[in-house]
Chain A
Amino acid sequence: MPLKPMPSPYLADNLFAPNRDKNMVKERPHKILVVDDEPDLEPLVLQRMRRKIRSGVYNFVFAQNGVEALERLREDDGIDMVLSDINMPRMDGLTLLEQIPKVDPELRAVIVSAYGDMDNIRTAMNRGAFDFVTKPIDFEDLEITIERTLKNIAEWRDALASRDRLVAIQNELNVARDMQQSILPTRFPEGSGYQIFGSMEAARDVGGDFFDAIRLDNDRIGLTIADVSGKGVPAALFMMSSRTLMKGAAIGSVSPSEALREVNELLSQDNDAAMFVTILYAEYDPTNGNLTYANGGHNPPLVVHSDGSSELLPLTGGIALGLVPGLEFEQETFTLAPGDTVVLYTDGVTEAMNADEEEFGNVRLHEIFASSPPIDSKEANDAVFRAVHDFAGNAPQSDDITCLTLCRSEFED
Protein backbone atom coordinates (compact mmCIF):
# COMPACT_ATOMS: atom_id res chain seq x y z
CA MET A 1 0.00 0.00 0.00
CA PRO A 2 1.65 3.27 -1.05
CA LEU A 3 1.89 5.86 1.65
CA LYS A 4 0.61 9.29 0.85
CA PRO A 5 1.04 11.45 3.90
CA MET A 6 -0.34 14.50 2.17
CA PRO A 7 -1.51 15.75 -1.21
CA SER A 8 1.35 16.78 -3.44
CA PRO A 9 2.05 20.45 -2.92
CA TYR A 10 3.70 20.70 -6.29
CA LEU A 11 0.35 20.63 -8.01
CA ALA A 12 -0.72 23.85 -6.40
CA ASP A 13 -1.33 26.68 -8.82
CA ASN A 14 -2.23 29.55 -6.58
CA LEU A 15 0.51 30.38 -4.17
CA PHE A 16 0.52 33.10 -1.71
CA ALA A 17 3.22 34.83 0.18
CA PRO A 18 5.09 32.93 2.86
CA ASN A 19 3.22 33.06 6.12
CA ARG A 20 5.58 32.03 8.83
CA ASP A 21 5.06 34.96 11.15
CA LYS A 22 2.48 34.08 13.78
CA ASN A 23 1.34 37.70 13.88
CA MET A 24 0.20 37.43 10.32
CA VAL A 25 -2.81 35.39 11.36
CA LYS A 26 -4.32 38.62 12.59
CA GLU A 27 -4.70 39.80 9.03
CA ARG A 28 -6.93 36.91 8.04
CA PRO A 29 -8.36 34.21 10.28
CA HIS A 30 -7.58 30.64 9.26
CA LYS A 31 -10.74 29.24 7.80
CA ILE A 32 -11.58 25.69 8.86
CA LEU A 33 -14.37 23.64 7.31
CA VAL A 34 -15.96 21.22 9.79
CA VAL A 35 -17.87 18.34 8.19
CA ASP A 36 -20.17 16.26 10.39
CA ASP A 37 -23.79 15.14 10.24
CA GLU A 38 -24.25 15.46 13.99
CA PRO A 39 -26.02 18.79 14.63
CA ASP A 40 -24.50 19.00 18.12
CA LEU A 41 -20.97 19.52 16.86
CA GLU A 42 -21.44 23.01 15.43
CA PRO A 43 -22.49 24.75 18.67
CA LEU A 44 -19.88 22.74 20.57
CA VAL A 45 -17.03 23.84 18.28
CA LEU A 46 -18.23 27.45 18.34
CA GLN A 47 -18.43 27.36 22.12
CA ARG A 48 -15.10 25.63 22.84
CA MET A 49 -13.18 27.65 20.26
CA ARG A 50 -14.89 30.96 21.04
CA ARG A 51 -11.71 32.72 22.22
CA LYS A 52 -9.81 31.82 19.07
CA ILE A 53 -12.80 32.87 16.99
CA ARG A 54 -13.28 36.17 18.81
CA SER A 55 -9.60 37.06 18.55
CA GLY A 56 -9.70 36.40 14.83
CA VAL A 57 -7.38 33.38 14.76
CA TYR A 58 -9.91 30.83 13.50
CA ASN A 59 -13.02 31.09 11.44
CA PHE A 60 -15.24 28.00 11.19
CA VAL A 61 -17.63 27.03 8.44
CA PHE A 62 -19.77 23.90 8.57
CA ALA A 63 -21.13 21.22 6.27
CA GLN A 64 -23.35 18.21 7.00
CA ASN A 65 -21.75 15.71 4.62
CA GLY A 66 -19.17 15.26 1.87
CA VAL A 67 -21.35 16.62 -0.91
CA GLU A 68 -22.07 19.82 0.99
CA ALA A 69 -18.39 20.08 1.93
CA LEU A 70 -17.32 19.99 -1.71
CA GLU A 71 -19.86 22.69 -2.53
CA ARG A 72 -18.45 24.90 0.23
CA LEU A 73 -14.90 24.29 -1.00
CA ARG A 74 -15.83 25.16 -4.58
CA GLU A 75 -17.56 28.42 -3.66
CA ASP A 76 -14.95 29.53 -1.09
CA ASP A 77 -11.26 29.30 -1.99
CA GLY A 78 -10.26 30.82 1.36
CA ILE A 79 -10.65 27.56 3.29
CA ASP A 80 -7.31 26.38 4.71
CA MET A 81 -8.18 23.02 6.19
CA VAL A 82 -10.95 20.46 6.55
CA LEU A 83 -11.92 18.60 9.69
CA SER A 84 -14.19 15.73 8.73
CA ASP A 85 -16.08 12.90 10.33
CA ILE A 86 -15.98 9.53 8.54
CA ASN A 87 -19.53 8.18 8.67
CA MET A 88 -21.97 10.59 7.03
CA PRO A 89 -24.95 10.30 4.68
CA ARG A 90 -24.68 11.14 0.93
CA MET A 91 -20.88 11.21 0.91
CA ASP A 92 -18.67 9.86 3.67
CA GLY A 93 -15.39 11.34 4.89
CA LEU A 94 -13.16 8.81 3.12
CA THR A 95 -14.77 9.60 -0.25
CA LEU A 96 -14.50 13.29 0.52
CA LEU A 97 -10.75 12.85 1.04
CA GLU A 98 -10.42 11.52 -2.50
CA GLN A 99 -12.30 14.49 -3.90
CA ILE A 100 -10.55 17.28 -2.00
CA PRO A 101 -7.33 17.39 -4.09
CA LYS A 102 -9.45 17.88 -7.22
CA VAL A 103 -10.82 21.09 -5.71
CA ASP A 104 -7.65 22.30 -4.00
CA PRO A 105 -4.52 20.12 -3.86
CA GLU A 106 -3.06 22.33 -1.17
CA LEU A 107 -5.81 21.68 1.39
CA ARG A 108 -4.97 19.63 4.46
CA ALA A 109 -7.62 17.36 5.93
CA VAL A 110 -7.86 16.03 9.48
CA ILE A 111 -10.14 13.07 10.09
CA VAL A 112 -12.27 12.46 13.16
CA SER A 113 -12.38 8.73 13.79
CA ALA A 114 -13.68 6.36 16.42
CA TYR A 115 -11.09 5.46 19.03
CA GLY A 116 -8.84 2.69 17.79
CA ASP A 117 -10.42 2.46 14.36
CA MET A 118 -7.13 1.67 12.62
CA ASP A 119 -8.71 0.45 9.37
CA ASN A 120 -10.39 3.77 8.68
CA ILE A 121 -7.40 5.77 9.92
CA ARG A 122 -5.14 3.81 7.60
CA THR A 123 -7.46 4.32 4.63
CA ALA A 124 -7.75 8.01 5.46
CA MET A 125 -3.97 8.40 5.50
CA ASN A 126 -3.64 6.61 2.19
CA ARG A 127 -6.09 9.06 0.79
CA GLY A 128 -3.96 11.96 1.90
CA ALA A 129 -5.32 12.85 5.36
CA PHE A 130 -2.75 14.87 7.24
CA ASP A 131 -3.68 13.73 10.73
CA PHE A 132 -6.56 12.44 12.80
CA VAL A 133 -8.27 13.04 16.13
CA THR A 134 -10.40 10.50 17.96
CA LYS A 135 -13.91 10.63 19.38
CA PRO A 136 -15.00 11.87 21.81
CA ILE A 137 -13.14 14.98 20.69
CA ASP A 138 -10.66 16.32 23.21
CA PHE A 139 -10.70 20.00 22.32
CA GLU A 140 -7.24 20.67 23.68
CA ASP A 141 -5.91 17.90 21.46
CA LEU A 142 -7.96 19.23 18.56
CA GLU A 143 -6.51 22.70 18.97
CA ILE A 144 -2.95 21.31 18.95
CA THR A 145 -3.75 19.28 15.84
CA ILE A 146 -5.26 22.32 14.10
CA GLU A 147 -2.22 24.44 14.97
CA ARG A 148 0.13 21.76 13.68
CA THR A 149 -1.85 21.34 10.47
CA LEU A 150 -1.98 25.08 9.78
CA LYS A 151 1.72 25.37 10.52
CA ASN A 152 2.42 22.59 8.06
CA ILE A 153 0.35 24.33 5.39
CA ALA A 154 2.31 27.52 6.00
CA GLU A 155 5.61 25.61 5.68
CA TRP A 156 4.55 24.12 2.37
CA ARG A 157 3.40 27.44 0.99
CA ASP A 158 6.68 28.93 2.09
CA ALA A 159 8.55 26.03 0.52
CA LEU A 160 6.67 26.46 -2.73
CA ALA A 161 7.41 30.15 -2.78
CA SER A 162 11.10 29.55 -2.22
CA ARG A 163 11.04 26.74 -4.78
CA ASP A 164 9.90 29.30 -7.27
CA ARG A 165 12.56 31.75 -6.23
CA LEU A 166 15.53 29.42 -6.13
CA VAL A 167 15.90 25.69 -6.47
CA ALA A 168 18.78 24.73 -4.25
CA ILE A 169 19.66 21.79 -2.06
CA GLN A 170 19.95 23.98 0.99
CA ASN A 171 16.39 25.07 0.43
CA GLU A 172 15.20 21.53 0.25
CA LEU A 173 16.95 20.80 3.51
CA ASN A 174 15.29 23.80 5.10
CA VAL A 175 11.91 22.53 3.95
CA ALA A 176 12.64 19.15 5.47
CA ARG A 177 13.79 20.79 8.66
CA ASP A 178 10.68 22.95 8.93
CA MET A 179 8.44 19.95 8.35
CA GLN A 180 10.30 18.07 11.03
CA GLN A 181 9.80 20.91 13.51
CA SER A 182 6.10 21.15 12.65
CA ILE A 183 5.35 17.58 13.76
CA LEU A 184 7.04 17.80 17.16
CA PRO A 185 4.79 18.30 20.17
CA THR A 186 5.24 21.51 22.11
CA ARG A 187 2.85 20.57 24.91
CA PHE A 188 2.95 17.33 26.82
CA PRO A 189 0.28 15.21 28.50
CA GLU A 190 -0.07 16.07 32.16
CA GLY A 191 -1.40 13.91 34.92
CA SER A 192 -1.05 13.13 38.54
CA GLY A 193 2.13 11.30 39.47
CA TYR A 194 4.24 11.97 36.37
CA GLN A 195 5.79 14.68 34.20
CA ILE A 196 6.92 14.59 30.58
CA PHE A 197 9.25 16.81 28.59
CA GLY A 198 10.95 16.43 25.24
CA SER A 199 13.02 18.48 22.83
CA MET A 200 15.13 18.21 19.73
CA GLU A 201 18.16 20.11 18.54
CA ALA A 202 18.47 19.81 14.78
CA ALA A 203 21.81 19.28 13.08
CA ARG A 204 22.66 21.78 10.36
CA ASP A 205 22.17 19.60 7.32
CA VAL A 206 21.31 16.00 8.18
CA GLY A 207 19.14 14.07 10.57
CA GLY A 208 15.56 12.98 10.95
CA ASP A 209 14.67 12.59 14.61
CA PHE A 210 11.17 12.98 15.96
CA PHE A 211 9.31 12.25 19.17
CA ASP A 212 5.73 12.17 20.38
CA ALA A 213 3.84 11.88 23.64
CA ILE A 214 0.16 11.04 23.42
CA ARG A 215 -2.66 10.22 25.75
CA LEU A 216 -4.08 6.68 25.48
CA ASP A 217 -7.15 5.18 27.12
CA ASN A 218 -7.23 4.44 30.88
CA ASP A 219 -4.93 7.43 31.55
CA ARG A 220 -2.00 5.65 29.96
CA ILE A 221 0.61 7.56 27.98
CA GLY A 222 2.26 6.57 24.67
CA LEU A 223 5.87 7.74 24.21
CA THR A 224 7.64 7.57 20.87
CA ILE A 225 11.20 8.47 19.96
CA ALA A 226 12.52 7.83 16.48
CA ASP A 227 15.29 8.45 13.98
CA VAL A 228 14.69 8.33 10.21
CA SER A 229 17.53 7.43 7.84
CA GLY A 230 18.59 9.82 5.12
CA LYS A 231 17.89 13.49 4.66
CA GLY A 232 15.99 15.99 2.57
CA VAL A 233 12.36 16.01 1.51
CA PRO A 234 12.01 12.23 0.87
CA ALA A 235 13.22 11.52 4.41
CA ALA A 236 10.93 14.23 5.78
CA LEU A 237 7.92 12.67 4.04
CA PHE A 238 8.93 9.26 5.37
CA MET A 239 9.16 10.83 8.81
CA MET A 240 5.66 12.33 8.55
CA SER A 241 4.28 8.91 7.53
CA SER A 242 6.13 7.18 10.34
CA ARG A 243 4.93 9.65 12.92
CA THR A 244 1.26 9.49 11.93
CA LEU A 245 1.27 5.70 11.47
CA MET A 246 2.91 5.34 14.88
CA LYS A 247 0.27 7.56 16.46
CA GLY A 248 -2.49 5.54 14.80
CA ALA A 249 -0.96 2.22 15.77
CA ALA A 250 -0.38 3.43 19.33
CA ILE A 251 -4.05 4.26 19.71
CA GLY A 252 -5.35 1.24 17.83
CA SER A 253 -3.11 -1.55 19.09
CA VAL A 254 -3.30 -3.78 22.12
CA SER A 255 0.41 -3.57 22.95
CA PRO A 256 3.65 -1.79 22.02
CA SER A 257 5.01 -4.86 20.20
CA GLU A 258 1.82 -5.10 18.16
CA ALA A 259 1.97 -1.37 17.38
CA LEU A 260 5.52 -1.67 16.01
CA ARG A 261 4.56 -4.74 14.02
CA GLU A 262 1.76 -2.79 12.34
CA VAL A 263 3.92 0.26 11.58
CA ASN A 264 6.70 -1.95 10.21
CA GLU A 265 4.21 -3.74 7.98
CA LEU A 266 2.98 -0.48 6.47
CA LEU A 267 6.40 1.10 6.07
CA SER A 268 7.92 -2.04 4.51
CA GLN A 269 5.53 -2.04 1.58
CA ASP A 270 6.93 -0.58 -1.65
CA ASN A 271 10.01 0.64 0.15
CA ASP A 272 12.52 0.19 -2.68
CA ALA A 273 14.47 3.20 -1.49
CA ALA A 274 15.29 1.21 1.68
CA MET A 275 14.45 4.14 3.93
CA PHE A 276 14.02 3.09 7.50
CA VAL A 277 13.24 4.43 10.92
CA THR A 278 14.39 3.27 14.33
CA ILE A 279 11.55 3.61 16.84
CA LEU A 280 11.35 3.05 20.56
CA TYR A 281 7.71 3.00 21.57
CA ALA A 282 6.69 2.77 25.23
CA GLU A 283 3.40 2.82 27.10
CA TYR A 284 3.39 4.18 30.61
CA ASP A 285 0.70 3.29 33.11
CA PRO A 286 0.63 5.92 35.88
CA THR A 287 -1.48 3.72 38.14
CA ASN A 288 1.38 1.27 38.75
CA GLY A 289 4.48 2.83 37.17
CA ASN A 290 4.74 0.11 34.52
CA LEU A 291 6.64 1.09 31.40
CA THR A 292 6.10 -1.44 28.61
CA TYR A 293 8.29 -0.86 25.59
CA ALA A 294 9.10 -2.38 22.24
CA ASN A 295 12.24 -1.45 20.38
CA GLY A 296 12.60 -1.31 16.61
CA GLY A 297 16.35 -0.84 16.22
CA HIS A 298 16.58 2.16 18.54
CA ASN A 299 18.86 3.00 21.46
CA PRO A 300 17.72 1.40 24.72
CA PRO A 301 15.91 3.57 27.32
CA LEU A 302 17.92 4.88 30.26
CA VAL A 303 16.29 4.66 33.68
CA VAL A 304 17.69 7.02 36.30
CA HIS A 305 16.93 6.31 39.96
CA SER A 306 16.45 8.97 42.61
CA ASP A 307 19.95 8.35 44.03
CA GLY A 308 21.51 9.20 40.64
CA SER A 309 22.38 5.62 39.68
CA SER A 310 21.11 4.54 36.29
CA GLU A 311 20.67 1.54 34.03
CA LEU A 312 20.03 0.88 30.35
CA LEU A 313 16.97 -1.30 29.82
CA PRO A 314 17.55 -4.43 27.71
CA LEU A 315 17.03 -4.30 23.94
CA THR A 316 14.04 -6.27 22.76
CA GLY A 317 15.71 -7.71 19.67
CA GLY A 318 13.85 -5.59 17.14
CA ILE A 319 15.07 -4.40 13.75
CA ALA A 320 14.71 -0.88 12.35
CA LEU A 321 11.25 -0.43 10.77
CA GLY A 322 10.58 -0.40 7.03
CA LEU A 323 13.10 -3.06 6.01
CA VAL A 324 11.75 -6.54 6.70
CA PRO A 325 8.03 -7.21 6.22
CA GLY A 326 6.30 -9.76 8.41
CA LEU A 327 8.52 -9.12 11.39
CA GLU A 328 7.26 -9.83 14.91
CA PHE A 329 8.43 -7.57 17.76
CA GLU A 330 9.07 -8.36 21.40
CA GLN A 331 8.34 -6.16 24.39
CA GLU A 332 9.59 -5.76 27.94
CA THR A 333 8.08 -4.18 31.04
CA PHE A 334 10.03 -2.22 33.61
CA THR A 335 8.33 -0.80 36.70
CA LEU A 336 9.40 2.75 37.49
CA ALA A 337 9.70 3.29 41.23
CA PRO A 338 8.53 6.63 42.63
CA GLY A 339 11.36 9.09 41.85
CA ASP A 340 12.59 7.14 38.80
CA THR A 341 13.04 8.90 35.46
CA VAL A 342 13.09 7.24 32.07
CA VAL A 343 15.18 9.01 29.43
CA LEU A 344 14.53 8.20 25.78
CA TYR A 345 17.14 9.58 23.41
CA THR A 346 18.55 9.20 19.90
CA ASP A 347 22.07 8.33 18.76
CA GLY A 348 22.73 12.05 18.35
CA VAL A 349 23.34 11.94 22.11
CA THR A 350 25.54 8.85 22.43
CA GLU A 351 27.40 9.42 19.15
CA ALA A 352 28.05 13.13 19.64
CA MET A 353 31.74 13.75 19.00
CA ASN A 354 34.26 16.12 20.50
CA ALA A 355 37.18 17.76 18.71
CA ASP A 356 39.34 14.65 19.38
CA GLU A 357 36.72 12.53 17.56
CA GLU A 358 35.76 10.68 20.73
CA GLU A 359 32.13 9.62 21.10
CA PHE A 360 29.96 10.71 24.02
CA GLY A 361 29.09 7.06 24.65
CA ASN A 362 27.12 5.21 27.29
CA VAL A 363 29.53 5.79 30.16
CA ARG A 364 29.07 9.56 29.94
CA LEU A 365 25.33 9.01 29.60
CA HIS A 366 25.28 7.34 33.03
CA GLU A 367 27.54 10.04 34.45
CA ILE A 368 25.10 12.86 33.60
CA PHE A 369 22.91 12.08 36.58
CA ALA A 370 25.39 10.31 38.90
CA SER A 371 26.03 13.34 41.08
CA SER A 372 22.81 15.27 40.34
CA PRO A 373 19.69 13.11 40.08
CA PRO A 374 16.85 14.62 37.98
CA ILE A 375 14.60 17.13 39.74
CA ASP A 376 11.89 17.15 37.08
CA SER A 377 11.47 16.08 33.47
CA LYS A 378 12.49 19.43 31.96
CA GLU A 379 15.59 19.62 34.13
CA ALA A 380 16.51 16.01 33.24
CA ASN A 381 16.12 16.83 29.56
CA ASP A 382 18.20 20.00 29.86
CA ALA A 383 20.91 18.11 31.75
CA VAL A 384 21.35 15.73 28.79
CA PHE A 385 21.74 18.61 26.33
CA ARG A 386 24.12 20.45 28.67
CA ALA A 387 26.31 17.38 29.05
CA VAL A 388 26.45 16.80 25.29
CA HIS A 389 27.27 20.48 24.61
CA ASP A 390 29.98 20.55 27.27
CA PHE A 391 31.49 17.40 25.82
CA ALA A 392 31.29 18.37 22.13
CA GLY A 393 32.65 21.87 22.66
CA ASN A 394 33.15 23.52 19.28
CA ALA A 395 33.06 20.27 17.28
CA PRO A 396 30.34 20.44 14.60
CA GLN A 397 27.05 18.70 15.40
CA SER A 398 26.64 15.94 12.82
CA ASP A 399 23.25 14.52 13.83
CA ASP A 400 20.01 15.63 15.48
CA ILE A 401 20.04 15.41 19.25
CA THR A 402 16.71 14.39 20.75
CA CYS A 403 15.59 13.56 24.23
CA LEU A 404 12.22 12.66 25.77
CA THR A 405 11.93 12.14 29.51
CA LEU A 406 9.22 10.97 31.86
CA CYS A 407 9.57 11.33 35.64
CA ARG A 408 7.49 9.33 38.05
CA SER A 409 6.92 11.65 40.99
CA GLU A 410 8.60 10.80 44.26
CA PHE A 411 5.39 11.41 46.16
CA GLU A 412 2.02 10.59 44.65
CA ASP A 413 -0.23 13.63 44.72
Chain B
Amino acid sequence: MDTWTIAEINNLTIQGELKNGALIAKTEGRIDGGNAREFQSALENLMTDDVTALLLDFEGLAYISSAGLRVILLVSRQMERMNAKFGVCSLSSSINEVFQISGFDRIIPTHAAQADALSVFGR
Protein backbone atom coordinates (compact mmCIF):
# COMPACT_ATOMS: atom_id res chain seq x y z
CA MET B 1 0.00 0.00 0.00
CA ASP B 2 1.32 3.43 -0.93
CA THR B 3 2.06 5.90 1.78
CA TRP B 4 3.03 9.50 1.33
CA THR B 5 4.06 12.36 3.57
CA ILE B 6 1.19 14.73 4.27
CA ALA B 7 3.16 17.15 6.40
CA GLU B 8 6.40 17.53 8.27
CA ILE B 9 5.86 20.00 11.04
CA ASN B 10 8.03 20.99 13.94
CA ASN B 11 8.13 17.84 16.19
CA LEU B 12 5.44 16.08 14.16
CA THR B 13 5.26 14.00 10.99
CA ILE B 14 1.99 13.01 9.32
CA GLN B 15 1.99 10.12 6.83
CA GLY B 16 -1.00 9.39 4.61
CA GLU B 17 -2.33 6.04 3.47
CA LEU B 18 -5.52 4.98 1.68
CA LYS B 19 -7.23 1.82 2.91
CA ASN B 20 -10.55 0.70 1.48
CA GLY B 21 -11.37 4.27 0.53
CA ALA B 22 -10.63 5.66 4.00
CA LEU B 23 -7.81 8.15 4.43
CA ILE B 24 -5.55 7.21 7.29
CA ALA B 25 -3.27 9.90 8.71
CA LYS B 26 -0.52 8.46 10.88
CA THR B 27 0.94 10.98 13.28
CA GLU B 28 4.37 10.65 14.80
CA GLY B 29 5.85 12.96 17.39
CA ARG B 30 3.98 15.41 19.58
CA ILE B 31 1.13 17.89 19.18
CA ASP B 32 1.26 20.88 21.49
CA GLY B 33 0.72 24.63 21.57
CA GLY B 34 3.86 25.06 19.47
CA ASN B 35 2.59 23.18 16.40
CA ALA B 36 -1.19 22.87 16.86
CA ARG B 37 -1.86 25.56 14.27
CA GLU B 38 0.22 23.80 11.61
CA PHE B 39 -1.38 20.48 12.55
CA GLN B 40 -4.77 22.10 12.03
CA SER B 41 -3.96 23.48 8.57
CA ALA B 42 -2.46 20.13 7.50
CA LEU B 43 -5.71 18.38 8.41
CA GLU B 44 -7.89 21.11 6.91
CA ASN B 45 -6.10 20.62 3.59
CA LEU B 46 -7.03 16.93 3.75
CA MET B 47 -10.74 17.50 4.23
CA THR B 48 -11.85 17.71 0.62
CA ASP B 49 -15.20 16.55 -0.71
CA ASP B 50 -13.79 13.26 -1.97
CA VAL B 51 -12.60 12.24 1.50
CA THR B 52 -15.57 10.42 3.02
CA ALA B 53 -13.69 8.82 5.91
CA LEU B 54 -10.69 10.10 7.87
CA LEU B 55 -8.89 8.16 10.58
CA LEU B 56 -6.10 9.62 12.70
CA ASP B 57 -3.72 6.85 13.73
CA PHE B 58 -1.98 7.93 16.95
CA GLU B 59 0.28 4.90 17.32
CA GLY B 60 3.44 6.99 16.99
CA LEU B 61 2.11 9.96 18.95
CA ALA B 62 4.01 10.61 22.19
CA TYR B 63 2.14 13.61 23.54
CA ILE B 64 -0.95 15.73 22.89
CA SER B 65 -1.81 18.95 24.71
CA SER B 66 -5.19 20.63 25.08
CA ALA B 67 -4.38 22.74 22.00
CA GLY B 68 -4.08 19.48 20.03
CA LEU B 69 -7.35 18.13 21.45
CA ARG B 70 -9.05 21.31 20.30
CA VAL B 71 -7.86 20.77 16.72
CA ILE B 72 -9.17 17.20 16.73
CA LEU B 73 -12.53 18.46 17.92
CA LEU B 74 -12.64 21.11 15.17
CA VAL B 75 -11.78 18.46 12.56
CA SER B 76 -14.41 16.12 13.98
CA ARG B 77 -17.07 18.84 13.76
CA GLN B 78 -16.01 19.70 10.22
CA MET B 79 -16.20 16.04 9.11
CA GLU B 80 -19.62 15.77 10.69
CA ARG B 81 -20.81 18.80 8.71
CA MET B 82 -19.48 17.14 5.56
CA ASN B 83 -21.35 13.95 6.45
CA ALA B 84 -18.04 12.10 6.47
CA LYS B 85 -16.77 9.53 8.93
CA PHE B 86 -14.08 10.39 11.43
CA GLY B 87 -12.20 8.76 14.28
CA VAL B 88 -8.90 8.24 16.05
CA CYS B 89 -7.18 4.94 16.81
CA SER B 90 -4.20 3.20 18.40
CA LEU B 91 -3.80 5.52 21.36
CA SER B 92 -0.79 4.85 23.58
CA SER B 93 -1.59 4.42 27.24
CA SER B 94 -0.59 7.99 28.10
CA ILE B 95 -2.61 9.50 25.23
CA ASN B 96 -5.50 7.24 26.17
CA GLU B 97 -5.35 8.61 29.71
CA VAL B 98 -5.50 12.19 28.38
CA PHE B 99 -8.61 11.23 26.37
CA GLN B 100 -10.23 9.55 29.35
CA ILE B 101 -9.59 12.30 31.87
CA SER B 102 -10.67 15.12 29.56
CA GLY B 103 -13.74 13.16 28.45
CA PHE B 104 -12.67 13.37 24.79
CA ASP B 105 -13.08 9.59 24.47
CA ARG B 106 -16.80 10.29 24.76
CA ILE B 107 -16.99 13.02 22.13
CA ILE B 108 -14.44 11.73 19.60
CA PRO B 109 -14.94 8.20 18.16
CA THR B 110 -11.95 6.33 19.61
CA HIS B 111 -10.88 2.88 18.40
CA ALA B 112 -8.32 0.36 19.61
CA ALA B 113 -6.77 -0.33 16.19
CA GLN B 114 -7.10 0.63 12.51
CA ALA B 115 -9.11 -2.50 11.74
CA ASP B 116 -11.72 -1.68 14.41
CA ALA B 117 -12.14 1.81 13.06
CA LEU B 118 -12.44 0.62 9.46
CA SER B 119 -15.11 -1.89 10.37
CA VAL B 120 -17.08 0.82 12.18
CA PHE B 121 -16.63 3.02 9.10
CA GLY B 122 -18.09 0.13 7.09
CA ARG B 123 -14.93 -0.26 4.97
Q: How far is the CA of A300 from the CA of B107 in the complex (A)?
A: 20
Chain A interfacial positions (CB closer than 8 Å to B): 205-208, 227-231, 274-276, 278, 296-300, 315, 317-320, 323-324, 347, 351, 353, 357, 359, 398-399
**Min CB–CB distance B74 → chain A (angstroms):** 5
Report, as a range, how many residues of chain B touch the other chain: 20 to 34
Q: Is B69 an interface residue (CB 8 A)?
A: yes
The 5 A-B pairs at the shortest CB distance, nearest first, are namely: A319-B103, A206-B33, A229-B66, A297-B102, A297-B103
Pairwise interchain contact A229-B32, C-beta atoms closer than 8 A = no
Q: How far is the CA of A278 from the CA of B104 in the complex (A)?
A: 11
B54-90 vs A, Cβ < 8 Å mask (1 yes, 0 no): 0000000011011101100110010000000000000
Pairwise interchain contact B63-A231, C-beta atoms closer than 8 A = no
Pairwise interchain contact B63-A229, C-beta atoms closer than 8 A = no
Chain B interfacial positions (CB closer than 8 Å to A): 32-34, 62-63, 65-67, 69-70, 73-74, 77, 94, 98, 100-104, 106-107
Q: How far is the CA of A229 from the CA of B103 in the complex (A)?
A: 14
Residues of B within 8 A of A278 (CB): 66, 101-102
Residues of A within 8 A of B104 (CB): 297, 319-320
Contact A276-B100, Cβ < 8 Å, known A206-B33, A359-B94, A398-B32: no
**Min CB–CB distance A227 → chain B (angstroms):** 6
Contact A300-B70, Cβ < 8 Å, known A206-B33, A206-B34, A359-B94: no
Pairwise interchain contact A274-B106, C-beta atoms closer than 8 A = no
Residues of A within 8 A of B77 (CB): 274
Residues of A within 8 A of B102 (CB): 278, 297-298, 319-320
Pairwise interchain contact B66-A227, C-beta atoms closer than 8 A = yes
Residues of B within 8 A of A205 (CB): 33-34
Contact among A206, A227, A318 for B103, CB-based, below 8 A: A318
Contact among B34, B66, B106 for A230, CB-based, below 8 A: B66
Pairwise interchain contact A229-B94, C-beta atoms closer than 8 A = no
Residues of B within 8 A of A351 (CB): 63
**Most chain B beta carbons < 10 A, residue from A227, A317, A351:** A351
Q: How far is the CA of A227 from the CA of B63 in the complex (A)?
A: 17
> Which residue on B lies nearest to A276, using beta carbons?
B70
Pairwise interchain contact A300-B65, C-beta atoms closer than 8 A = no
Residues of A within 8 A of B74 (CB): 274
Contact among A227, A274, A299, A357 for B73, CB-based, below 8 A: A274
Residues of B within 8 A of A228 (CB): 66
What 15 additional pairs, Cβ within 8 angstroms, besides A229-B69, A276-B73, A324-B107? A206-B67, A208-B66, A230-B33, A230-B66, A231-B67, A274-B74, A276-B69, A296-B103, A299-B101, A300-B101, A315-B100, A323-B107, A353-B63, A359-B94, A398-B34
Q: How far is the CA of A297 from the CA of B104 in the complex (A)?
A: 8
Residues of B within 8 A of A207 (CB): 33
Residues of B within 8 A of A357 (CB): 62
**Min CB–CB distance B78 → chain A (angstroms):** 10
Pairwise interchain contact A276-B107, C-beta atoms closer than 8 A = no
Q: How far is the CA of A323 from the CA of B73 in the complex (A)?
A: 9
Contact among A275, A315, A359 for B101, CB-based, below 8 A: A315
**Can you identify 12 A-B contacts, CB atoms within 8 angstroms?**
A205-B34, A208-B66, A274-B70, A274-B73, A275-B70, A278-B66, A278-B101, A298-B102, A315-B101, A318-B103, A347-B98, A353-B63
> Which residue on B lies nearest to A231, using beta carbons?
B33
Residues of A within 8 A of B101 (CB): 278, 297-300, 315
Residues of B within 8 A of A227 (CB): 66
Q: How far is the CA of A299 from the CA of B63 in the complex (A)?
A: 16
**Min CB–CB distance B67 → chain A (angstroms):** 6
**Most chain B beta carbons < 10 A, residue from A274, A298, A399:** A274
Q: How far is the CA of A228 from the CA of B102 in the complex (A)?
A: 12
Q: How far is the CA of A210 from the CA of B106 in the complex (A)?
A: 25
> Which residue on B lies nearest to A399, using beta carbons?
B65
Residues of A within 8 A of B32 (CB): 206, 398
Q: How far is the CA of A351 from the CA of B97 in the complex (A)?
A: 11
**Most chain A beta carbons < 10 A, residue from B32, B67, B103:** B103
Q: How far is the CA of A347 from the CA of B33 in the complex (A)?
A: 14
Q: How far is the CA of A385 from the CA of B62 in the complex (A)?
A: 24
**Min CB–CB distance B52 → chain A (angstroms):** 23
Residues of A within 8 A of B107 (CB): 319, 323-324
Q: How far is the CA of A347 from the CA of B74 in the complex (A)?
A: 22
